[in-house]
Amino acid sequence: MAFRMKTLAGMICAATMFTFGTAWAAEPEGIDINIADVTREQAAAVASAQVELHEEELIPKVNDGTKIMINLANRGLYLFEKGVKTKLYPIACGRYTNRSPVGYYKVNEKEVNPTWVDPADRSNVVTSGPSNPLGYRWIGFNGYYGIHGTNNPSSIGTYASKGCIRMLEEDVEDLYERVEVGTPVEVFYNRCVMEKSNDGTVVYYIYPDAYDCQPLSVEQINEWLHGYGVECFESDDAIKEKIAAEDGQPTFVAKPFNLTVNGKTLEWKAVQKDGIYYLPVYQMAEALNMPVYVDNAAGMVRTSYGTATINNFKNVLYINADEAEAIFNINGGKYSSNSMV
């Protein structure tokens, strides 16, 4: 159990988790606690608090797009500044029986050098220093839950706390300087993380289901890849293997481009895979109002202008963009980092 004590208010660093049960933050192991007694102590501490938080105090001084996002499944804390992801910090979060709470919150307090009070023995008070389980920074965001340092850095990257978010000391001190009271905090549990890398390639990760609450299917992954326009470029067998491995390692799929033909932006994307740019055959033909004839046995597609080799990705036909002029009598290319015309 871990409690932090405000100088005047004697506030407790622990919380009741409404969704998953009772959870406590940043405590040493091996302490037997009467939960009912502690809950009563919490209620008394809140009732006697001398510092009240008003709604206006939770509004950031400048709404500049700064926010904290925490994914419990990959044990990562993302910092967004001016709407751009600038930092990814490793964390430790709540163990299976004391899961960290998911939801939308705001930073409600910040404190340097917090004091820890042992709830099993209130006379056991640990002031700021190397033996303090809370480290040297506290960023509260949900009742008694908070983001803080730790005197057990080996726990980072694991499910070790009783609800709070632990960080390496240098990381939490860096984060502390970048956020303020009122900064939004979003806590979620996503085993599949899908995003674009710096060069625009869609990449996805699958993490173990530590909370045993989020099964994944090939259909789900395909649906999410479809949102990026690259579902045809990752086979179902590869997705199955990825789900089974749940290793948290990146899988790079392909790079999508918005595709514009004769001024019309198509629903389907142009896609770059292994250095080749692919164009969707039927969608191109429809946009050009041009009939096409496919010979699957020969692996060819034909129009009145010529022929091209077809590439079948999960029963969707593509051609190499280099052959677009020969088969469709058009030319063009990459217009920007995310579009082809």
Separation of alpha carbons 282 and 261, rounded Å: 13
- From the number of C-beta atoms within 10 Å of its C-beta (0-12, 13-18, 19+), residue 246 rates as middle
pLDDT value for 176: 97
* Segment 47-67 mean pLDDT: 52
Of 31 and 168, more confident: 168
pLDDT value for 128: 86
Is the pLDDT assigned to residue 43 strictly greater than 80? no
Ranges of each domain in the chain: 66-188, 192-256
How far the first Cα of the chain sits from its last, in Å, is 60
pLDDT value for 292: 94
Q: Are 7 and 47 in contact (CB under 8 A)?
A: no
- To the nearest whole percent, how much of the chain has pLDDT over 90? 69
Is the pLDDT assigned to residue 269 strictly greater than 60? yes
pLDDT value for 38: 32
Q: How many CB atoms lie within 10 A of CB 87?
A: 14
pLDDT value for 143: 82
* Segment 47-61 mean pLDDT: 41
Residue ranges of E strands in 233-337:
251-252, 255-261, 264-265, 270-273, 276-280, 293-295, 300-302, 307-309, 311-313, 316-320, 334-336
Let me know if domain 66-188 sits in CATH 2.40.440.10.
yes
Q: Are 33 and 22 in contact (CB under 8 A)?
A: no
Residue ranges of E strands in 113-196:
115-117, 125-126, 137-142, 145-148, 159-161, 165-167, 184-188, 192-196
Is the pLDDT assigned to residue 20 strictly greater than 90? no
Separation of alpha carbons 121 and 144, rounded Å: 18
Name the pLDDT band for 332 (thresholds 50, 70, 90).
confident
pLDDT value for 242: 98
At 107-138, the pLDDT tens digits run 999 999 998 777 678 888 888 889 898 999 99
Select which of 13, 93, 164, 192 is catalytic. Answer: 164
Name the pLDDT band for 4 (thresholds 50, 70, 90).
low
Name the pLDDT band for 45 (thresholds 50, 70, 90).
very low
Instruction: Please enumerate in sequence order all residues whose Cβ is within 8 A of that of 247, keeping only pairs 6 or more positions apart, or say none.
Output: 206
Residue 148 annotated in active site: yes
Name the pLDDT band for 339 (thresholds 50, 70, 90).
confident
Of 234 and 21, more confident: 234
Q: Are 214 and 73 in contact (CB under 8 A)?
A: yes
Is the pLDDT assigned to residue 21 strictly greater than 50? no
pLDDT value for 63: 64
Q: Compute CA 139 distance to the chain's CA centroid, rounded to the nearest angstrom.
A: 20
Separation of alpha carbons 132 and 333, rounded Å: 60
Name the pLDDT band for 49 (thresholds 50, 70, 90).
very low
Task: Measure Cα distances from 118 to 49, 64, 138, 241 in Å.
Answer: 18, 38, 17, 46
| Angle at CA of residue 147, ends 145 and 150, nearest 5° | 115
- To the nearest whole percent, how much of the chain has pLDDT over 70? 81
DSSP β-bridge partners for residue 335: none
pLDDT value for 41: 32
Whole-number average pLDDT of the chain: 83
At 256-265, the pLDDT tens digits run 999 999 889 9
pLDDT value for 119: 62
Q: Which of 136, 74, 68 is closest to 107 using CA atoms?
A: 68
pLDDT value for 118: 74
pLDDT value for 336: 76
pLDDT value for 166: 97
Select which of 13, 54, 93, 148 is catalytic. Answer: 148
Beta strands 307-309 and 300-302 are: antiparallel
pLDDT value for 255: 97
Separation of alpha carbons 60 and 230, rounded Å: 38
Q: What is the DSSP letter of 269?
A: P
Is the pLDDT assigned to residue 51 strictly greater than 60? no
235-245 burial string, b = 16+ CB within 10 Å, else e?
A: eeeebeebbee
pLDDT value for 1: 38
At 210-245, the pLDDT tens digits run 999 999 999 999 999 999 999 999 999 999 999 999
Residue 13 annotated in active site: no
* Segment 175-179 mean pLDDT: 97
Report field, pTM of the whole predicted structure over 0.85? no
